[in-house]
Amino acid sequence: MPKHKVLVTVPQPLRGLIVTDEAWAGLLSAADVVTNEEGRNWSGEELAARLPGVEAIIGSWGMPKLSEEVLAKADALRLIAYAAGSVKGFVTDAVHRRGIAVSHAAARIADSVAEYSLLCALIGLRRPHEFDRKLKAGEPWPKSRDMDLFEIAGKKVGLLGMGYVGQRSARLFRAVGAEVWAYDPYLSSEDVARLGVKKVDLDALLRGCKVISVHLPVTQETHHLLGARELALVQDGAVFINSARSWVVDQEALLKELSRGRFWAALDVFDQEPLPVDHPLRRLDNVLLTPHVAGLTRDAYQDLMSDMIAEVLRFFRGEPLLYKIDPEKLEIMA
């Protein structure tokens, strides 16, 4: 019996970084696999020339836009398995019109981002990096009465956005004893009950939570959702974390609030990346900066294509996809 034909568009060296040997061997044994050996991403025209007879594509960062022209010769294509996060850069209406299913590995990246959020919350409440810096600078041993430190158990943690990352963050924060509040207009009552969170409006969350973590997608309705008015509601001494996109927060308004020293922030995303060397955020002691690495762990990277290989093999066995994207919900996804 002929094997299913799978096209892997991911070039080396990226391909080797995002798949395990075991998963790759499983794909080769179960399918007729065509790989990208160009050492670079294919153009739309190059991809189109390779599509006849292909039933599934496994791609990652650098996928060309799948326009009507690119898909014109996709006579057998039934599944696109994307070994990365957002598919908005390449999925078009032409994909949906042809009934091609789309899956992605955003759920796996979400595990790392959620862990980063918990880490930053704990750092913000306990400030170990500040003690390290002071001790190494030879500053006097601090007196306990001068330490304004907190445990996370019992604290109200506000999550903005309850997609993959928000839901995984909720589980982690609840596991360490926090009370989780959630802002997400699309969060159903069933999901509220399943996740064990309290659904609140935006202002209530900003006012009421000691820890605030942003997990909102880039959409028209989320642009600068947090502006000067909203940031002024954040309580003194709060911990503010953004590991989503800077699109959601007015960066100038955030800089003004942080410059006042009212609350502490961990920021992984910025309007301009890399963050300019002379940017004023780099000079603030109440800000922890990381270079867009919340989802960047070796564990998550190796699982990206491995999870999508499992998804492709599941699809060929006639089993339901675990990470299928609903076209109707694509607009409100990251």
Q: Which residues are catalytic?
A: 245, 273, 292
Contact 230, 201 (CB under 8 A): no
CB 198, CB 187: distance < 8 Å = no
Report which of 269, 256, 266 is spatially closest to residue 230, judged by C-alpha positions.
Answer: 256
Distance CA 258, CA 253 (A): 9
Q: DSSP letter string over 229-297? A: HHHTTSPTT-EEEE-S-GGGB-HHHHHHHHHHTSSEEEE---SSSSPPTT-GGGG-TTEEE--S-TT--
* Alpha carbons 125 and 71: distance in angstroms, whole number: 51
Length of the chain: 334
Q: Is 181 left (phi over 0), alpha (psi -120 to 50) or beta?
A: beta
Cis peptide before 274 (omega within 30 of 0): yes
Report H helices in the chain.
14-17, 21-30, 44-49, 93-97, 106-126, 128-136, 164-175, 189-195, 202-208, 228-231, 251-260, 298-316
